[in-house]
Amino acid sequence: MRAGLFGAGALAIRSCLNYPPGAEAGATYLRHDVASPAGAAMLRIFAEGVGKMMALPEGDPRGWAFQWHIHAVRDDRSKASELARLYPNASDPDRVLADAVWDTCEAHFDPLRVNFFLPWHRMHLMAFERLIRSVAIAAHFTMPYWDYTDPDRRALPSQFRSPGDPL
């Protein structure tokens, strides 16, 4: 558990060092329903941010691949092989960070760690939102929520079920 929380915490600390213009430490942010116009606006910012992340090199801590590896390294690869492939220099600070934070979501893989599912993901989401704010240069960005308690909206929002949707 300590490794997972340390990893998520290390990324959160690093990601909050670079606030986009207009953002402040300790600012209060409002989340929007994904079905609302404000929620749709947040999804557009999210899409822009993810597009920018995907354009970054795989080893860049702000990049999509690096962020993907925080949850887990693909089953057909090992963490050690990915570290060696992306960071041949063992003393590279990005490699040190990757070694600390990659593959740290133990709740998905260890039934004894299921109690840490919500705290780990909440900390990861906080860091990820800050990252999107930074790469999209959108100080007001928040990840919109999906109200799955509404019986008419139990299905995953269409934007996340449509591969061709730019959002």
pLDDT in tens, the chain (167 residues): 445 545 545 554 454 445 555 556 677 889 999 989 999 999 999 999 999 999 999 999 999 999 999 988 888 999 999 999 999 999 999 999 999 999 888 776 666 666 777 888 888 889 999 999 999 999 999 999 888 898 888 888 887 787 777 66
| 20 in a structural domain | no
Domain total of the chain: 1
| 68 in a structural domain | yes
| 155 in a structural domain | no
Q: What is the pLDDT of residue 54?
A: 94
Q: What is the pLDDT of residue 59?
A: 93
| 152 in a structural domain | no
| 101 in a structural domain | yes
| 154 in a structural domain | no
Packing angle, helices 2-15 and 64-71, rounded to 10: 160
Q: First and final CA of the chain: distance in angstroms? A: 34
Q: What is the pLDDT of residue 17?
A: 47
Structural domain boundaries, residue 59: 2-14+32-144
| 161 in a structural domain | no
| 112 in a structural domain | yes
